[in-house]
Each structure stands twice: as structure tokens, then as C-alpha cells.
Amino acid sequence: MMRIRILGCSGGIGVGLRTTSLLVDDDILIDAGTGLGDLTLEEMARIRHIFITHSHLDHIAGLPLMTDSIFGEIEQPITLHAAAETLAALREHVFNWIVWPDFTQLPTPQGGVLRYSVMAHGEVREIAGRRIRMIPVNHVVPGVGYGIESAGRVAVFSGDTTTNDTLWAALNDYSGIDALIVECAFPNQELELCRRAYHYCPELLAADLRKLRHRPRLYLTHLKPGAEARIEGECRDLIKGFELRRLFGGDLIQL
């Protein structure tokens, strides 16, 4: 059985709100937003692989702090999988010895806590029977989603994206999909902002869902704080034929 624990799924922070981070089983993390801070030290130390969708702060904010927190707890490096542009951004702008130390070089240059692993669009990483596929999407910085296959079930996380063809083509390539965790950052009144910031609103998401040949259960994520009920309501009005759920921090998806 595949377990996806939702550590954070909000578009922002506030009491009870944490940004994007998903734990697959207990050793694979997808994005490292502030939700990561809900894990105990022991739980963090069990993470062996981290897949990052893109370089935006809400998806990486927990990463530097986690790395420092478990510095003394782990013996083998954590592998950080991401597209070349995303790893370059982390190297240049976060782990640059100014914002934070370069943990690929600590405790020693030969054996850091973190190890970068460049992943290409469409590439699959196999980790103890689970297959993680990188799927390109359409965001304001280079962004990807990830398909996760485990024990015959498939879950896909969109990352941050607006209207695109690549995600939906990749989804249609699977023979079936059980769960689609998809962003819907803003309500319809922010359509123009969605175009500029490369996010979905219910109208844009509903239009793209027509490209999908499968009928997975939909989980809405990355909703703007304060607009959650409105976004969910607009999705329920516009998206028909799917079982639809709004994600909450602490949710557990079991497939």
C-alpha cells in the first residue's frame, strides 16, 4: 500500500496552515515547504530521498532547516532529486554559504548531508519498488510534477502549474490513475493573476481536466489562505464527473 501524508498543502502560512510538503511512505519527501516542520526528528531522519518540484520558497523553505536539524542523526546523505534549473537555484541562492551553509560539503567535502541528483523530464527513479516519474508542467519558473507508482497504484502530484499539455499527456500515458493531487491556487476572479503567476483557478483547471482520459480522485491543493471555501465551491460547480476533495494538512491518502 502507498501512503501519502500531507504535511502541508496551503498556498501560505498562518495558524493551521503550512506550505507544500508530502511524505510518501516514510522515506520519500516531495517538496519541502513549511509542513515539513511537523515531523519529529526521527521522522525527518528516515527521509532518504527528496523530490523538489521547483525553486519557489513555499516548496523549499523547510529544506535548509531540516538539513541542519538532522545533521547529527544520519549517516548516509539524503538524495535531492530535481531538474537542473531547480538544483542550480538551490545551490546559488540558498546553500551558498551566505543564506545557508552548503550541506553537500558538510560535514566533509567528500561526504555531505545532501547529495544533488539532476533529473530530466520523463525520467523515472526507482526506489525500493516505487517509481517516481518527473513530469514537466508550466510555471513561472521551471516546474515539474511527479507521478508515483507503488504496488500497482498511481498517484500524481501536479506541483505548481497553469494551463499546459505536458502534464495531461503524461497522465494519459498511464493505464490508470488513482489519485491526482492538483493545485488550484486562486478563485476565478483572479484569472488574470493566474495567467501572470502561472497557477490554476477553477475555470482553467476545469478546462484542462477535459484533456484527461482517466477519472482519478481529485485532491485540491495550494489554495490561497482565506479563499479556500470559494475555490472549492467554484471547483464543485465547474468540475463534473470526478470525486473531488480539498486537502488539509495532516490528511493521509492511502492507495
Grid cell of 225 as nine digits: 489562505
The dihedral region occupied by 44, where left means phi > 0, alpha psi between -120 and 50, and beta the remainder, is: alpha
Residue 224 binds Zn ion (CB under 5 A): no
Binding mask 121-160 for Zn ion (x = CB under 5 A): ---------------------------------------x
234 part of the interface to Zn ion, by CB under 5 A: no
Find the binder of Zn ion among 5, 18, 46, 56 (CB under 5 A).
56
Stretch in the footprint of Zn ion (CB under 5 A) among 22-30, 48-56, 110-118, 173-181: 48-56
**Is position 199 an interface residue for Zn ion (rule: CB under 5 A)?**
no
Amino acid making up residue 169: A
Closest CA to 183 of 206, 214, 144, 157: 157
58 binds Zn ion (CB under 5 A): yes
Minimum Å gap between C-beta 135 and Zn ion is 15
Would you say how long the chain is, in residues?
A: 255
Stretch that binds Zn ion, among 54-62, 112-120, 122-130, 165-173 (CB under 5 A): 54-62
Residue 175 Cβ vs Zn ion, minimum distance, rounded to whole Å: 30
Residue (of 141, 169, 145, 173) closest to 158 by Cα position: 145
What amino acid is encoded at 189 in this protein?
A: Q
The DSSP bridge pattern shows strands 107-108 and 111-112 to be antiparallel
Q: Which residues bind Zn ion (CB under 5 A)?
A: 56, 58, 160
